[in-house]
A and B are shown apart, each in its own frame.
Chain A
Amino acid sequence: GENVEQHPSTLSVQEGDSAVIKCTYSDSASNYFPWYKQELGKRPQLIIDIRSNVGEKKDQRIAVTLNKTAKHFSLHITETQPEDSAVYFCAASLYNFNKFYFGSGTKLNVKP
């Protein structure tokens, strides 16, 4: 089955700096890659996703890039704010099979 690895496990940045979280996947057939944000005690929330026919996608301060050849994808957060502090999870899925494989999470701390 699919194996998703996520790095780093913790990340601390100063407010206003950028943050990058990276994930690799093993199954070249995977073609859908969502990112989730989970605040303490809350459910994971979908924040952005990318499909394998696209190399980059942006939504305001967040962006995701995908390199299919290298089988890795990354989450970029610019101009970080304290409210960005949370645990972020990447995932990989094969469209129409609807099974998701998650990375182990990155705890992002944005220092004011």
Chain B
Amino acid sequence: DAGITQSPRHKVTETGTPVTLRCHQTENHRYMYWYRQDPGHGLRLIHYSYGVKDTDKGEVSDGYSVSRSKTEDFLLTLESATSSQTSVYFCAITASGRGDEQYFGPGTRLTVT
């Protein structure tokens, strides 16, 4: 599982509240990603990071921000949650030293009511 954990695993929140999801990895991988998964859309990239304090937008970044102050942690923040952000969120890493192989965390199911 490439040493990836996500917290929380499940969260229910109300529209308009801020939410932060955490991705933690223990193997010092340089690249980390946040995806959302919705029926019929596969996995869509929200933001990714290529090093501490180095981040870039993905294809569905509106309404989301990220931070990476340590190699092991990549945080995803919804500043003001909306119902359209109800989804399953997956963190992923690209394994250092194993080419492009990408491995996923266990996921966080977020419901915005």
Of residues B40, B99, B100, B104, which shows the largest number of chain A Cβ atoms within 10 Å of its Cβ?
B100
Tell me the bound Cα distance from A12 to B61 in angstroms: 35
| Interface size counted on chain A using CB atoms at 8 A | 23
Do B101 and A49 touch across chains, with their CB atoms under 8 A apart?
yes
What does the 1/0 interface line of A11-48 toward B look like (CB < 8 Å)? Answer: 00000000000000000000010100000001111100
Measured between beta carbons, the chain B residues less than 8 angstroms from A99 are: 45, 48, 58
Do A34 and B100 touch across chains, with their CB atoms under 8 A apart?
yes
Interface of B is mostly: strand
For the side of the interface on B, what is the size category? Answer: 20 to 34
Measured between beta carbons, the chain A residues less than 8 angstroms from B94 are: 98
Tell me the bound Cα distance from A6 to B43 in angstroms: 13
What does the 1/0 interface line of A92-110 toward B look like (CB < 8 Å)? Answer: 0101001111111100000
Measured between beta carbons, the chain B residues less than 8 angstroms from A42 are: 106
Chain A positions within 8 Å of B, measured between CB atoms, are: 1, 6, 9, 32, 34, 42-46, 49, 89, 91, 93, 95, 98-105
With contacts A43-B104, A102-B44 known, what are 6 further pairs, Cβ within 8 A?
Answer: A34-B100, A46-B102, A49-B100, A89-B43, A98-B100, A104-B40
